[in-house]
Structure 1
Amino acid sequence: MDDGIRVGLLLVATPQLEDPNFKRTVVLVVEHDADGGTLGVVLNRPTEVPVDRILPPWAELVTGPPFVFQGGPVALDNALALARLPGDGEPLGWRGLDCAEVARVGLVDLDAPPSLLAAELLQLRVFAGYAGWSAGQLRKEVEEGAWYLVPAESGDVFAGDPSRLWQEVLRRQGGDLAFVSTFPDDPTLN
């Protein structure tokens, strides 16, 4: 059964999602199996921890804010990275997400020597932890109104101003979702 969730989609938290781990987040789905569950990374939660403090060999290759992003509430002591490469093929140390929406974006093997990818990297971002859902859990949350499912764009993964990503992704959807992008952080102050 197709649940509509697939690699390369964004999960955009609806204003009703009050869980502090996910409030106003934009999550990129990086793995999905309807029978096995879903794994994603939060794209708009930079920390104040510089990458060079956690992964010094990779620090000079990071683009955008040079900080580790909080990828989600699971396994915060583990890091993963996403990188965008030009051209074709899968060089050692990189596995493409295999989706048109975020073409040439993939997961980086952070145990590999950075020199394997350094010459090919266009963009790189490091995440501490990830977001995970068991089989059927995310579908249930979508049905309950916690998430919007929208197509990703390659620029979303490496947004220059992650603090604006939630609003920008919703705004470009048009219609009702563009209206939701103006929803105040605290509606009681409206």
Structure 2
Amino acid sequence: MRQLDFNIFDFDIPVVKPAKGKILIAEPFLKGPYFGRSIVLLTEFGKEGAVGFVLNKASNVYPDEVIDDILSFKGELFIGGPVSSDTLHFIHTLGDILPGSVKVTENIYWGGDFEKLKDLINSDVVTYKQVKFFAGYSGWSPGQLEGEIKDKSWIVTEIDDMAIMSENIDDIWENTLNSLGGMFKTWSKFPNDPNQN
């Protein structure tokens, strides 16, 4: 057998600094139910650490099943991360319609007046295409995320707001890596379990 003189998982990743509105793409070997093959939207990043939400881990539960006063909501409840999994969070495209929201990207906001949001949903003014709910969140203490990025656990990049809000999440990890080209394209095709290849 001929020895290769390169490693497809050990190459220089372009340095993109984490920031609010950027996404984190998990490298193929990152394990665990929360972060394995995940894409995380960063909603906060600074000296005090980072907060984000895993975009592609559905719970097979719907918000109207766990929130008493929401009458009907077609969008799934996503697993935002391992921190405070008994808390509810949301991102949306409602902007100033929802007081108290924090702007994350050009069109995406985080949080805001929850009572107002429930009223808008129950009045059929807002649909699942404008709001994504999460149980729990992903959090990093100061310097922790930077260390994980340095260790190549995460690739930092951007995706468009439509992809962030999309309900079609099955292939988002693979498609996003694939869109980066080069070696990332190879990563996107790497099997979940190399032993079954």
TM-score range, shorter chain: 0.7 to 0.9
Identity %: 29
1:87-102 equivalences under 5 Å are 90-93=96-99, 95-99=101-105
Q: Does the 8 A contact of 2:62 with 2:73 survive in 1?
A: no
Aligned length: 178
Whole-Å separation in 2 of the counterparts to 1:4 and 1:79: 28
Q: Which shifted more, 170-179 or 24-33? A: 170-179
Measured after TM superposition, the shift of residue 170 of structure 1 is 0.8
Q: Is the 8 A contact 1:76 1:130 kept in 2?
A: yes
Residue 91 of structure 2 corresponds to residue 108 of structure 1: no
Instruction: Calculate the TM-score normalised by the size of structure 2.
Output: 0.81
CA contact (8 A) 1:96 1:104 kept: no
Q: Does 1:41 align with 2:41?
A: no
The structure with more radius of gyration = 2
CA RMSD of superposed structures (Å): 2.2
Q: Does 1:127 align with 2:140?
A: no
Which residue number corresponds to residue 68 of structure 1?
77
TM-score computed with the length of structure 1 as normaliser: 0.83
Instruction: Report the 3-state secondary structure (helix = DSSP H, G, I; strand = E; otherwise coil) of the residue aligned with 2:173.
Output: helix
Which blocks of at least 5 consecutive residues in structure 2 are unaligned? 1-15
Indicate yes or no: 2:28 matched with 1:15.
Answer: yes
Point out where structure 1 has 5 or more consecutive residues left out of the alignment.
Answer: none
Q: 1:109 to 1:136 in 2, by over 3 A?
A: same
Instruction: Name 1:152's counterpart in structure 2.
Output: 159
Q: Secondary structure at the match of 1:131?
A: strand
Greater Cα shift, 89-98 or 9-18: 89-98
Q: Distance in 2 between matches of 1:160 and 1:105?
A: 15
* Whole-angstrom CA distance in 2 between matches of 1:59 and 1:165: 29
